[in-house]
A and B are shown apart, each in its own frame.
Chain A
Amino acid sequence: MEILVCARRVPDTSENEIELNSAGDDIERDDLVYSVNEPDNYAVEEALRIVEETGGMVTVVTVGGEDDEEILRREMAMGAKSGVLLSDDSFAGTDGRGIAAILAAFVKRGHYELILTGVQAEDGAAQVGGMLAALLDYPFASLVNSIEVQHGKLKIGREIEGGAREMNEIDLPCVLSIQTGINEPRYVGMRGIRQVASLPIPTFGAADLGVNGNASAKKAKVWRTDYFMPPLGKGAEILEGSAEDQIAKLIELLRSKGGLQ
């Protein structure tokens, strides 16, 4: 099976506090480290498992610039057969729909039976997968946490409320957005990345893809004007003092709210 995984390079925010930069128009990026978006990594692992079973190969694609090549190499070190960069100055400032249009143009150049994306990235939008499917007129399913390959179709599970799993059948070719926890991704270390360091990464621009302005800032319908810190608003009443004082006050409050038996 030929599988395409759409990946993205994002800042690592788990341990680190995000702060606004001094100009106030973006977050402070100087001390950030970047890596592949975690759900995308799960998607690549899932794709690798599928081709280990059915044969074929996995291609990883990203929209961005030279800096983004590092995540392609990381996924190639993991086992993806090739990495592709879609890059053009005109892409700057485009919105989610624009990204999806760029990816759709790339998909149409090849013959991919299955296209995977991670469920969402750092902007929490969870949009590119669904848009890509609509642009290609492929069936779509989001929040996929299990995949079973059948003939010409897949049996998939989706994560829904209450921890339940919605089982669906979906025809190929299709687009799926993958939820974390679907598998346990294999480890990729420095050695693996070094081994793919000099493999070529084909790059395609707007003209190669034939997007011609559909994915530019001018055509964007959504744009961010600035970042700002969420106002504390009412917020919590922070209990001060020693641990003993805090505990005493807390017990008083718990009792008044019916929390003590």
Chain B
Amino acid sequence: MTEVFSSPAQATFWFVQGRVLFWIVNILGTVCFAYIVARRMIPLVRAQRDNRFDHPFARLANLLKFWFGQWRHPRFIGAGTLHILFFSGFLILVVHTFAFMSLGTADHPIALGGLYGTVSDYAATIVFFCMLVLIARRLSKPARYAVPARYGKAHTADAIFLLALIALLMAADSVFEGSHAAGMARQHMAAESLPLLSLGWMFQAGFAAVSAPVLANLYFGSYLIHELAFFFLLCYRPFGIQFHVETSLFTVYFAKLDRGTVKPVRWGVADNQLDQVKSFGVKTFEDFTWKHILDFYSCADCGRCSSYCPANAVGRPLSPRFLTTKARDYAFRHYPMFGKANNGTPLVGNIYSDDEIWSCTTCGACEAECPLLVEYIDKIVDLRRGLVDDGKVPQSLQKPLKALESRGNPFGKMEKKRADWAKAKDFAETCSVPVINGAGGARTLYFVDSITSYDDRIQSIGRATAEILNRCGENFSILGTVEKDSGHDVRRFGEETLFMALREHNTEAIKASGVQRIVTSDPHAFNALQHDYKDLPPVEHISQAMATKVRAGELQFKPVDGNDVYAYHDPCYLGRHNGVYDEPREVLDAIPGLKRVEMRRSRDRSFCCGGGGLALFYEPKEEQRMGVKRVEMAAEAGANVIVTACPFCMVNMEDAIKVAGMEGKMTAIDLAELAAKQMS
């Protein structure tokens, strides 16, 4: 095919031959980029190690689903759709980019026509218009993007600049194509027709009346602009949120697989060697693992995490998004492109405040939203470990921690009273709760945990659970006074040593009992026994045990009377962290006459009740209680009874009903209590 213009490689740009110019541009650009990336890698090299090279197939599967498949994006349908569109566009354009580069550097450039050419033209068009929409979004400022004054300044101008540059890239590409096609048409040469309504096609139409010399300038000019813009973007991206374009692949591949548990204090250091570790937790930036630092680089500052964070919603000083962006800014500041890195300043007290770190309930809503699978809980726990190591624990938490150490429960109550809940007079007459006495006893262990054992109100959940197990014919026992707190929240509040002591004690007791199965009515205990403890028999939550019996037709219920409307609240550690959403609903739906509605935030978007375990003792600075927001959501959904399946949710809901002045309008009941009441 005869060409109307010479290739950019052969043309002359201000007395420099194209090939020379573009080789220089390419090499300089690439070297610059390599240097920048190398500097960015320095903190990763200095960071703590992280075990992310196992389970390659599972990781590849994650890559396919979350990176390639953009799985999380549709959760925010508007922004999500846009992202899927231009992400696909970028992927399609990858090959085109290299071919395009070769036009300026090689005598025999790569020619890609045909189907791929058409597809990539449309891809560029879609990307271009997406950029315009995104710029418009930045100007209209969706709430999610807002940056409260205490967290710094919004980077709106920078964001718009970058979006505009990408748009420019697409436009330059299309001008190049359009001017070429227009030039061919002018010379009445056979031209490949540009795809209808693509950006190139539009430019071609627009250039119909443009003279040949102008077309030539447009042709070569747009190529030059494209190449310069391309390499500028390449080198500029690592300075902001756009770095995720390069790092997202790695962040998703190396993402945490075992989300139920918390990372060890130090990868590669066994529990019994921990005494040799000088410092626990994250105190300075370099105490993070390399994967965590990679997370800081990869965050796209989209704000999805914070918009679903319950702590953020009630005005606590915690916003996950800013935990990350502040760390990123720290990294950029302390590891500059030129000059020495200055590191080693404590994070808490500088970029983070104590309250910020203690305000988290570890509900996991942030991790459920993040399209890049950025991890938050491990980072918060590590920061807490650092604070605990330095003795900087809020006074309100010191008392329950001390009680856990001396009495095995956060209330400081006596060990010998732990099983007294089962001795309540009317209850004990109808339902026996045997205590394990050596091995060879029961098949099933009912692990009660501290709040159900000691709290006057919550003990009735224990009794209801025992009644259900009895009715289902389970041969079960409890550990009794030998049981200690599962330590689930001791661990998540950073007291790893105390957690390990509790775990060791309970594991020994459970193993000595010889049980083959564990059931619990406490989702925190459920999560701990399943994920934090090792080598235990299988663990189930009472809702799962009931659902199995319901499906088998072995558990039936009397109809409810009255006109109550029930809303089920998914506890964080049953639902979001362990995926148990359907079983509790199955049980409720098996109760005849029970009207059930869904709240607007349910399942993996459930709104945390306020937190359990040690979170009950912490006094955060907040504008409102999380529980109050939640009971208001129940009322909004038309319910007057809120059903939970967690003792901590129950405490928070009942408190919230009082504080919100909704007594008489809303009641709370535990799933086990309701089931025990309605069992026929």
Contacts and interface: CB of A to CB of B under 8 A. Distances in A.
B412 A12 contact: yes
A194 to B, nearest CB: 6
Nearest to A30: B416
B501 interface: yes
B497 A189 contact: yes
A33 interface: yes
A191 interface: yes
Given A15-B411, A16-B414, A194-B275, A187 B401 contact: yes
B403 interface: yes
B632 to A, nearest CB: 28
Given A189-B401, A189-B495, A12 B392 contact: no
Contacts of A187: 388, 391-393, 397-398, 401
Contact of B416 (A14, A31, A35): A31
A187 B394 CA distance: 8
Interface string A228-245: 000000000000000000
Nearest to B501: A190
Interface string B43-82: 0000000000000000000000000000000000000000
B456 to A, nearest CB: 14
Contacts of A14: 412
Given A12-B406, A191-B497, A186 B391 contact: yes
A78 interface: yes
A103 to B, nearest CB: 27
A192 B407 CA distance: 19
Q: Main SS of chain B's interface residues?
A: helix
Contact of A31 (B395, B402, B412, B414): B414
Interface in B256-307: 275, 280
B498 interface: yes
B389 interface: yes
Contact of A33 (B393, B398, B406, B416): B406
B389, B391, B501 pick with most chain A CB within 10 angstroms: B391
Nearest to A32: B414
A66 interface: no
B497 A184 contact: no
B397 to A, nearest CB: 8
Contacts of A194: 275, 497
A188 interface: yes
Given A189-B497, A191-B497, A15 B412 contact: yes
A184 to B, nearest CB: 5
A16 to B, nearest CB: 6
Contacts of B501: 190
A90 B413 CA distance: 36
B389 A191 contact: yes
B655 interface: no
Contacts of B402: 35
Contact of A16 (B390, B412, B498): B412
A203 B395 CA distance: 33
Interface in A191-228: 191-192, 194-195
Contacts of B392: 186-187
B109 to A, nearest CB: 64
B540 interface: no
Interface string A26-57: 00000101010000000000000000000000
B405 interface: yes
A141 to B, nearest CB: 25
A195 B275 CA distance: 8
Interface string A143-179: 0000000000000000000000000000000000000
Contacts of A33: 406-407
Contacts of B407: 33
Contacts of B415: 31
Contact of B395 (A78, A184, A188, A192): A184
A192 B495 CA distance: 11
Given A15-B403, A33-B407, A189 B498 contact: yes
Interface string B462-506: 000000000000000000000000000000000111100100000
A195 B406 CA distance: 18
A221 to B, nearest CB: 35
A35 B416 CA distance: 19
A35 B389 CA distance: 20
A12 to B, nearest CB: 7
B208 to A, nearest CB: 77
Nearest to A188: B391
A15 B413 contact: yes
Contact of A190 (B390, B397, B413, B497): B497
Contacts of B406: 12, 33, 35
A217 B569 CA distance: 65
A191 to B, nearest CB: 4
A48 to B, nearest CB: 10
Contacts of B390: 186
A124 B236 CA distance: 69
Interface string B408-447: 0001111110000000000000000000000000000000
Nearest to B409: A15
Contacts of B412: 12, 14-16
Nearest to A78: B391
A150 B395 CA distance: 29
A29 B495 CA distance: 29
A189 B388 contact: yes
Nearest to B277: A191
Nearest to B274: A191
Nearest to B402: A35
Contacts of B275: 194-195
Nearest to B398: A187
A194 B413 CA distance: 25
A23 to B, nearest CB: 20
A190 B405 contact: yes
A189 B416 CA distance: 24
Contacts of B498: 189-190
A21 to B, nearest CB: 15
Closest 8 interchain pairs by CB?
A186-B391, A187-B393, A15-B412, A191-B497, A33-B406, A190-B497, A187-B391, A190-B498
Interface of A: 12, 14-16, 31, 33, 35, 78, 184-192, 194-195
Interface of B: 275, 280, 388-393, 395, 397-398, 401-403, 405-407, 411-416, 495-498, 501
Given A187-B397, A189-B401, A190-B501, 17 more contacts: A12-B412, A15-B403, A15-B412, A16-B413, A31-B414, A33-B407, A185-B398, A186-B390, A187-B393, A188-B391, A189-B405, A189-B495, A190-B405, A191-B389, A191-B496, A191-B497, A195-B275
22 contacts: A12-B412, A15-B403, A16-B412, A16-B414, A35-B402, A35-B406, A78-B391, A184-B395, A185-B395, A186-B393, A187-B388, A187-B392, A187-B393, A188-B391, A189-B497, A189-B498, A191-B280, A191-B497, A192-B391, A194-B275, A194-B497, A195-B275
